[in-house]
Chain A
Amino acid sequence: MEKFMLIFHSAAASAEAFSNPSPEAMQAELQKWNHWIGGIAAQGRLAGTEALLPTGRTLTGPERLVTDGPFTEGKEIVGGYLFVMAADLDEATRLAEGCPALEHHGSVEIRPLMVMA
């Protein structure tokens, strides 16, 4: 078993479109996420998760340029990440397939962790 980090990106444009959802829509979205992550946990593959709030700032370059907001150049925002245990990259990718961020044209980065032996 290897450890992978799944990082969810949502497109800033869709994040804006989704910036004023109704309470009912938020609950529906939440249930999708709980269902997806709950499913990974049920298979005994969940190794930790964290949420990132959509606020903060970004520090850039030798000039230490400070910009408000967590957006990177590509106007993508990282909403959170989770660690999963999987046999290989293919299996980790399969676990990522159910991520609800994909439905809003977001993406999931699947990265193996380097194990320090």
Chain B
Amino acid sequence: MADDPAAAVSERLVAHLFRHEAGRLQAVLVRWLGLHRLDEAEDLVQDTLLQALTVWKVHGVPAQPAAWLYAVAQRKTLDLLRREQRHRRLAAQAEPAPAAEPGALFLADEVTDSQLRMLFACCHPALPPEAQLALCLKMLGGLSAAELAGAFLVPVDTMTKRLYRAKERLRAVAGPLEVPSGAALTGRLAAVLKSLYLLFNEGYSSAHPDQLIRRELCEEALRLALLLAQHPRTNRPETHALLALLCFQVSRFDARTAAAGGIVLLPDQDRSRWHQPLIARGLRHLAAAAEGNTASEFHLEAAIALEHCRAPTYAATDWRAIGRYYDQLLHLKPTPVVALHRAVALAQAAGPAPALAAVQALPGLDSHGLYHAILGELYAQTNQPEAAAHHLDRALALTASRPEQDLLRRKREKIINQIN
């Protein structure tokens, strides 16, 4: 398409360039100016991007868009610092220590480093989980408050307040912007991985009606996890285990959605649509994850996801192996939700009756849509259609997702027909 200039300029504009560069620039400028000047860094980035929009819309996108943005952002930041210096001189105040050599901050390795520092700050354990996710997406992913509100299905006002409070809290607790080292690293890295895992699940769990938004959340989690793997300090087995898990899950993304937007369940998925390069990539990360003698929950979840990826047909799935991984996972993370998923594997390996008994024994899941959906399924499989219909009704009432509701309604209809 070399003869189409419109296509030629747009080719330089990779998908989400503005969003991703906003995240990179924010991280670099916050590192330069300090965490206490977060808002100013954000304003400088916004100004830089607006200038790019004004110039690029008539001149086209330059050959090196990122370098262009870095040069403008650097100049704007230096202008701000010089103006302040002048004011201080006029007010006869003491000069602060000169800022670090700024040019070096824009080198590729340092940009990655800045993003990781920011990632550790955003996932600070003193912040509530929903604030961590919002901050990651705002500061590193370049999403606006309105876009975040759309992604998390809350009013814009709620999201604006959440971000405001999160930033206030961040300034208060985060300390210097750095990638932790030594003894502090393990705990802090675990918190970051956990946040990225939650971010991914937010996109993957299909709670959101818009498939595109869900996909972007998943891709953002994957992108940030890949950053961790690039840094010698955070390039650890558990990082690769999470990455392996994310790759395996993303590989099934296309096959999970029908043309009309409905959910296609695992047994019905066209396995030829699973993305093999991602599965191969997941395998490489899983191999890297095996260096060491810890098996984190991500190792086990990745192993479970791999069993699915590796089965040529649904019938050929090794449910016993999956059951064993769930046993270990439940040992590591003894929560009712893990036990619920384990019961699904148990139903396949040992039949619906023992699985039903296991699920009935689980406490505290009454407000959980998936719990009722699985109970409904197991009651149906054990010929108790009335109980099945009751739980599918409960599940229906508990999900906001249109495709999920359609799926539950179809199941319920089938069961009602059996009763009549």
Contact = CB atoms under 8 A, between A and B. Distances in A.
A50 B57 CA distance: 10
B95 interface: no
Contact of A23 (B4, B22, B51, B55): B22
Given A22-B144, A23-B142, A27-B13, A38 B58 contact: no
B17 to A, nearest CB: 6
Interface string B54-73: 11111111000000000000
A26 B53 contact: yes
B143 A22 contact: yes
Interface of A is mostly: helix
Interface stretch (A29-37, A56-64, A107-115): A29-37
Interface residue tally on A, bucketed by range: 20 to 34
Nearest to A32: B57
A53 interface: yes
B217 interface: no
Contact of A34 (B9, B46, B50, B147): B9
B183 interface: no
Nearest to A53: B54
Contacts, number: 97
B19 interface: yes
A5 to B, nearest CB: 13
B43 to A, nearest CB: 10
Contact of A26 (B3, B49, B59, B60): B49
Contacts of A19: 50
B58 A82 contact: yes
A38 B19 contact: no
B13 A34 contact: yes
A54 interface: yes
Nearest to A46: B5
A80 B54 contact: yes
Contacts of B22: 23
A51 B147 CA distance: 29
Nearest to A82: B58
A47 interface: no
B58 A37 contact: yes
Contact of A35 (B10, B46, B55, B56): B10
Contacts of B16: 24, 27
Q: Name, among A23, A37, A49, the residue most crowded by chain B CB atoms within 10 Å (CB to CB).
A: A23
A99 B13 CA distance: 20
Interface string A38-79: 110110000001111110000000000000000000000001
B142 A38 contact: no
Q: How many B residues are at the interface, by size bracket?
A: 20 to 34
Interface string A10-31: 0000000001111111110111
Interface in B175-232: none
Contact of B21 (A21, A23, A42): A23
Contact of A38 (B8, B49, B143): B8
B258 interface: no
A30 B18 CA distance: 10
A51 B19 contact: no
A41 B6 contact: yes
Contacts of B81: none
Contact of B6 (A27, A39, A52): A39
A53 B51 contact: yes
Interface in B139-163: 142-144, 146-147
A27 B52 CA distance: 10
Nearest to B9: A34
Given A38-B6, A50-B58, A51-B59, A26 B50 contact: yes
B17 A38 contact: no
Interface of A: 19-27, 29-31, 33-35, 37-39, 41-42, 49-54, 79-80, 82, 100
8 contacts: A23-B19, A24-B19, A24-B143, A25-B144, A27-B17, A30-B57, A42-B4, A52-B54
Given A26-B18, A41-B5, 12 more contacts: A22-B142, A22-B143, A23-B49, A24-B19, A27-B16, A34-B10, A34-B60, A35-B6, A38-B7, A38-B60, A51-B59, A54-B54
What are the 7 closest A-B residue pairs judged by CB atoms, nearest first?
Answer: A38-B6, A22-B144, A33-B57, A23-B18, A27-B18, A23-B22, A41-B5
